[in-house]
């Protein structure tokens, strides 16, 4: 039997064994892994680890946080030196569920109806993870040997900006691969993404004043040099709005509507209580930036502009704002970074994936940019050419009665299965 004939048989099995694929998605959904609260992926990750062990993978498992382990499975290729390697990346956590959400059924009791699987994580992204696992299972069961190395990263914390993928990239040479596919929600588009960084801007006075001193601070002859940090933060917010408008005029990126690079003043905290002039105020901002920018770059731009604003204020020039950027967890540190990811449409891996997608689905592949963010930027930052490609759409991600199309899930699984095989059989350039 030729490799081509064997692959035809394997691809046919995705249709013939569709019920097994659906059952695998349902199994993953039944593990309750919302983040927040997080710290709840132990059982789900143990399932993935055991699944990969059964397929001949060696397993590296460690706690990123107690109760939230990463699982990385590694399958040695038969000729790793000469053939291309691949990382498949996905996250096991899902979006939080509020008590007042009107689900048709318990979000973690999946149902199948009208050609869709319904349950929390179906689209984002347990459907994508299940398809990847099922593709690997079919390859292994049918004796399809892969010349190149294959790594599957099942990570935690993506929903709350935690460092699951970052740790996977840094640990034990985890960032060594010729290509990576993040199987997150993309509606079967091949995508890059912009980036996100959060930051805290702090205004703090070195003096404190009773609120009865306000008259002397703001009227002629009071002879008290002071200010409310809350009121001064209003000038900083105006400065952020000016910078945001400037970016909207001066920056753009193909595939994004003008002004997608935003600065959102999300949370403000300040003051002690009503008997004090506010001596400290903190503003939590979220900055979205384009795929051809870095989080370090945009943070410096924000700082430079706001410090110039401060120089024009009689009090802020002597009490300039300070900045704290990013973080490895929205839960632990109230901060996150999602690096941007540019996709080269001419890259060998992108071209191959696009070609396989077209052969399987009969539709030309769409190569564009995601309006949201994934962990793909961390793989790109590690120097690995990376794309986002997965089933499900953003209308369903995080939604009540979240669902994924079974037809799309089947197309995705076939595409990924074929791509794994063909990429692994692609010779490295010497």
The CA distance from 124 to 391, in Å, is: 9
Comparing C-alpha atoms, which of 135, 145, 150, 137 is closest to residue 87?
150
pLDDT at residue 2 in the model: 47
Mean pLDDT (the chain) is: 95
Last residue of a domain, one of 325, 350, 373: 325
CB within 8 Å of 265: residues ≥ 6 apart: 237, 240, 283, 284, 285
How do residues 65-94 score in pLDDT, each as one tens digit? 999 999 999 999 999 999 999 999 999 999
Same domain, 172 and 216: no
172 vs 53, higher pLDDT: 53
Q: Is 305 exposed, middle or buried (0-12, 13-18, 19+ CB in 10 A)?
A: middle
Per-residue pLDDT averaged across 215-222, rounded? Answer: 72
Which of 290, 325, 360 finishes a domain? 325
Please check whether residue 335 lies inside any domain of the structure.
no
The residues assigned a catalytic role are 93, 158
Partnered with residue 368 across adjacent β-strands are 191
Q: Total domain count for the chain?
A: 2
> Are residue 305 and residue 413 in the same domain, yes or no?
no
Average pLDDT value for residue range 14-38: 98
139 in any annotated domain: yes
* pLDDT exceeds 60 at position 420: yes
Above 70 in pLDDT, residue 189? Answer: yes
Q: Is there a single domain that holds both residue 171 and residue 202?
A: no
Note whether 55 and 167 are same-domain residues.
Answer: yes
Whether 122 and 246 map to the same domain: the answer is no
Binned at pLDDT 50, 70 and 90, residue 3 comes out as: low
Is 229 found in the same domain as 147? no
CA dihedral over 228, 230, 233, 235, signed as positive or negative? negative
Are 142 and 220 contained in the same domain?
A: no
| 293: containing domain | 195-325
Query: Is 122 a domain residue?
Result: yes
- Looking at the structure, tell me whether residues 31 and 58 fall in a common domain: yes
Q: Are residues 177 and 212 in the same domain?
A: no
Cβ atoms of 237 and 248 closer than 8 Å: no
Rounded distance, CA 379 to CA 176, Å? 10
Domain containing residue 207: CATH number: 3.30.70.360
The answer to whether the predicted template modeling score (pTM) of the entire model surpasses 0.85 is yes
Structure tokens at 367: 């190569």
* 41/188 same-domain check: yes
Rounded Cα distance between 167 and 52, Å, is 20
Please tell me the predicted confidence (pLDDT) of residue 277.
86
Same domain, 203 and 181: no
Confidence category of residue 173, pLDDT binned at 50, 70, 90: low
d(CA 110, CA 122): 9
Asked, for residue 391, whether it belongs to a domain, the answer is: yes
Q: What is the DSSP string of 145-157?
A: --SS-EEEEEES-
**pLDDT band with cut points at 50, 70 and 90 for residue 217:** confident
The predicted pLDDT at position 209 comes to: 81
Q: Which tens digit of pLDDT belongs to each residue from 100-157? A: 999 999 999 999 999 999 999 999 999 999 999 999 999 999 999 999 999 999 999 9
Look at residue 333 and tell me if it is in a domain.
Answer: no
Give the number of other Cβ atoms within 10 Å of residue 197's Cβ: 25
Q: What is the pLDDT of residue 174?
A: 59
Q: Is the dihedral of CA 261, 267, 268, 269 positive or negative?
A: negative
Measured over the CA atoms of residue 44, residue 48, residue 49 and residue 51, the dihedral's sign is positive
60 shares its domain with 189: yes
Confidence at 1, pLDDT banded by 50, 70, 90: very low
Question: What is the pLDDT averaged over residues 220-240?
Answer: 87
Band (pLDDT 50/70/90 cuts) for residue 222 is: low
pLDDT of the residue at 276 = 87
Helices and strands counted in the chain (H then E): 11, 18
Domain assignment present for residue 8? The answer is yes
Please state, in angstroms and rounded to a whole number, the distance separating the CA atoms of residues 337 and 289.
Answer: 11
Q: Which residues, listed in sequence order, are joined to residue 192 by a DSSP beta bridge?
A: 369
DSSP 3-state of 367: strand
- Contact criterion met (CB below 8 Å) for 415 and 425: no
Domain limit, last residue, from 291, 325, 359:
325
**pLDDT tens digits along 288-344:** 999 999 999 999 999 999 999 999 999 999 999 999 999 999 999 999 999 999 999
Nearest to 183 by CA among 423, 425, 420, 427: 420
CATH number at residue 165: 3.40.630.10
């Amino acid at each position: 039997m030729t490799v081509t004939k064997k692959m035809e048989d394997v691809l046919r099995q995705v249709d013939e064994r569709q019920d097994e694929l659906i059952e695998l998605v349902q199994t993953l959904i039944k593990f309750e892994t919302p983040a927040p609260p997080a710290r709840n992926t132990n059982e789900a990750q143990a399932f993935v680890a055991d699944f990969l062990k059964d397929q001949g993978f060696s397993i590296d498992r460690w706690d990123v946080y107690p109760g939230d382990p990463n699982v990385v499975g590694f399958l040695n290729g038969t000729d790793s030196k000469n053939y291309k390697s691949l990382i498949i990346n996905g996250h096991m956590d899902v979006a939080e569920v509020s008590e007042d959400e009107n689900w048709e059924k318990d979000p973690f009791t999946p149902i199948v109806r009208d050609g869709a699987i319904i349950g929390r994580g179906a689209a984002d992204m347990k459907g994508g993870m299940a398809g990847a696992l099922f593709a690997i299972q079919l390859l292994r069961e049918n004796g399809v040997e892969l010349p190149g190395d294959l790594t599957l990263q099942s990570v935690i914390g993506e929903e709350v900006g935690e460092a699951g993928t970052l740790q996977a990239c840094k640990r034990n040479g985890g960032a060594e691969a010729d290509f990576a596919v993040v199987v997150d929600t993309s509606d079967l588009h091949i995508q890059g993404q912009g980036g996100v960084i959060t930051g805290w801007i702090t205004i703090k006075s070195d003096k404190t004043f009773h609120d009865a001193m306000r008259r002397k601070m703001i009227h002629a002859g009071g002879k008290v040099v002071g200010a409310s940090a809350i009121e001064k933060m209003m000038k900083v917010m105006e400065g952020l709005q000016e910078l945001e408008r400037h970016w909207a005029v001066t920056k753009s990126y193909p595939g994004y509507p003008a002004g997608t690079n935003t600065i959102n003043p999300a949370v403000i905290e300040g003051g002690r209580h009503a008997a004090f002039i506010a001596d400290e105020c903190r503003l939590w901002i979220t900055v979205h930036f384009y795929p051809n920018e870095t989080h370090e770059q945009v943070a410096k731009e924000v700082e430079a502009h706001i410090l110039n604003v401060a120089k024009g204020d009689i009090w802020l020039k002597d009490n300039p704002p300070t900045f704290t950027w990013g973080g490895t967890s929205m839960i632990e540190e109230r901060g996150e970074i999602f690096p941007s990811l540019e996709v080269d449409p001419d890259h060998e891996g992108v071209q191959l994936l696009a070609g396989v997608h077209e052969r399987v689905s009969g539709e030309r592949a769409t190569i564009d940019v995601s309006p949201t963010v994934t962990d793909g930027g961390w793989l790109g930052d590690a120097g690995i050419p990376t794309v986002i490609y997965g089933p499900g759409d953003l209308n369903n991600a995080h939604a009540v009665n979240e669902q994924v199309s079974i037809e799309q899930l089947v197309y995705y699984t076939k595409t990924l299965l074929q791509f794994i095989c063909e990429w692994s059989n692609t010779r490295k350039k010497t």
